[in-house]
Amino acid sequence: PLRSAAVGPLLSGSSGRSRRDAAAHPVPPRSPQALCSQPGRPKDYALPNASWSRDMLDLYDRFLAMTKEGLWKRIPSYNNVLDHIPGKALRGLPSRDTRLFLRSIEAEGVGFEYVMFLNSSEKRVVCLFQPGSYLEGHPGFAHGGSIATIIDSTIGSCAIFVAGRVMTANLSINYMSPVPLGSVVLVDSKVDKVEGRKVFLSCKVQSVDGGTLHAEATALFIQLDATKSQKQQASCQ
């Protein structure tokens, strides 16, 4: 069940809902290039550390094995947003004491422990997520905002793959079952449809054994620069 939960097809999410799409919210600008592992980068946080549970490590090993078969790629993750932008030094962006929200908690294990894997042929990104004790909402469980955050980030990475620079226009989440702190869940996102600059995606948050559907979500992202993103994708593959 673990393998099927992680690699099986994503059940179709809810749809047919009216959406606002004139306006949008930018997501961290991980270009398709940043979705490919590259040497010489700053510290990559999407790697095992001492806080990872046996479930997290087992899933990680399983996905890592799949990367060797060529269908999946691990997505690196840095604590500074600018480090996700290729050629940032050339852009003359000033150095600032900022942090990518999901990497803002310094200590290992208490914040967002996660790693994402991209399956480009399936237009799908799966995130292995272990919420730490500083993400608490209801006692013992991850805050709904932290679940929204990991969903937005995972779906956003998936949208970036197909459309380059994107902005979140709508995010709708159904919460089914709370996620215990310290447990491991699979955040499984995929592109459902692309219409011009609109990218429609859906996502499920499931327990490792596939037995619990914690949440499901739909999202609309708007593509910012069509020409550029296609070039970036080409250079990444």
Closest to 199 measured CA to CA, from 228, 231, 159: 159
Q: Rounded CA gap, 168 and 190, in Å?
A: 15
> Inter-axis angle of helices 144-163 and 226-236, to 10 degrees?
90
Q: Work out whether 67 is an interface residue with a second copy (CB under 8 A).
A: no
The pairing of strands 112-119 and 124-131 is antiparallel
Q: Work out whether 159 is an interface residue with a second copy (CB under 8 A).
A: no
Q: Work out whether 198 is an interface residue with a second copy (CB under 8 A).
A: no
Task: Take residue 171 and report the two structure tokens written for it.
Answer: 């995010």
Q: Work out whether 69 is an interface residue with a second copy (CB under 8 A).
A: no
| Contacts of a second copy in 201-220 (CB under 8 A) | 215
Q: Work out whether 187 is an interface residue with a second copy (CB under 8 A).
A: no
Whichever of 146 and 206 has its CB closer to a second copy, that residue is 146
Q: State the Rg of the chain over Cα.
A: 17
List C-alpha distances in Å: 28 to 13, 85, 164, 167, 180.
Answer: 24, 9, 11, 9, 27
The count of residues interacting with a second copy (CB under 8 A) is: 64
Whichever of 67 and 168 has its CB closer to a second copy, that residue is 168
- Candidate list 152, 188, 209, 225, residue with the active-site label: 152
21 a catalytic residue: no
| Contacts of a second copy in 7-46 (CB under 8 A) | 14, 16-20, 22-29
| Residue 62 CB neighbour total at 10 angstroms | 15
Please identify every residue annotated as catalytic: 152
| Residues lying near a second copy in the complex (CB under 8 A) | 14, 16-20, 22-29, 81-82, 85, 93, 96-102, 104-105, 110-111, 133-139, 141-153, 156, 167-178, 181, 215
